[in-house]
Amino acid sequence: MGERANIAAEVRDRLLAEPEVILEDRDLMRALIGANERAMGANIVDLRGIAMERLEARLDRLEDTHRSVIAAAYENLAGTNQIHRAILRILDPINFEEFVRDLGGEVAQILRVDSVRLVLETRQAEREQALDRLGDVLCVAEPGFVDNYLAGGRPTASRPVVLRPALPELATIYGKSGDWIRSEAALRLDLGPGRLPGMLALGAEDPHQFRANQGTDLLAFLAAVFERAMRRWLG
């Protein structure tokens, strides 16, 4: 008994010297409040305890919001850095063939996508030569294809950037890889006055990588830089 009293005395002395130890421990404070309520009996309502519970719930919500905001900020920063790295790589090539080949190589790796396709609307006479020179990264299509593709085949106005799950039409631009493309980002390209539009399509095997509820500002910026680079190559 004497030994127990000595231990209790040591604990008591420490708590008296450092009372913030109790105040900073949420579980201990909750236990003390519960003990106080039991000591008061069932006929007494402790308004302070109720107020504290509500404040704790509000604090929990604020902490969750704080964590969500920080996570979103980090994600946005990482996305910005990713787009900037891709843009620098897009600006590196010294000829058009290398420019297009890089899209399916380092640019795709930087953007962490599984397939990249550059779609250009061209007239019949221009198609064979373009495909022979630039391989499977470049896709050529009839005039009007880009707007129809972005609109998903619906009679609605197309948007500059479209994020969505895979559609049956994907096979027309992704070829054999269209079988495992599950989501895509389609970026409309304005190639300048007097020219038919183009499209940069980023395909992903992950069905959740591109979703309609995601922001498109960074991809719109990528498209703006890319179309300006394309204008330089097209003369």
Cβ–Cβ under 8 Å, residues 61 and 195: no
Average pLDDT, the chain: 80
CA distance linking residue 139 with residue 120, whole number of Å:
6
Asked if the structure places residue 57 within a domain, the reply is no
Strand spans (E) along 159-197: 161-165, 183-189
User: How many domains does the chain fold into?
Assistant: 2
The boundaries of the domain holding residue 10 are 2-44
Report if residue 36 sits inside a domain: yes
User: Using N-to-C axis directions, what is the helix angle for 47-90 and 217-234, rounded to 10°?
Assistant: 10
Is residue 37 located within the same domain as residue 79? no
Is residue 77 in a domain?
Answer: yes
209 shares a domain with 101: yes
Claim to verify: residue 110 and residue 186 sit in the same structural domain: yes
Question: Within this chain, do residues 125 and 191 fall inside the same structural domain, yes or no?
Answer: yes
pLDDT of residue 27: 75
Both tokens assigned to 226: 């890319």
pTM for this prediction: 0.67
Cα 172 from Cα 170, distance rounded (Å):
5
**Per the domain annotation, does 50 fall within a domain?**
no
pLDDT tens-digit map of 186-221: 999 999 888 899 999 999 999 999 998 888 899 999
Mean pLDDT of 108-119: 92
Here the CATH number for the domain that contains residue 110 is 3.30.450.40
Give per-residue pLDDT as tens, 120-164.
Answer: 888 764 554 444 445 678 888 888 888 888 888 676 666 889 999
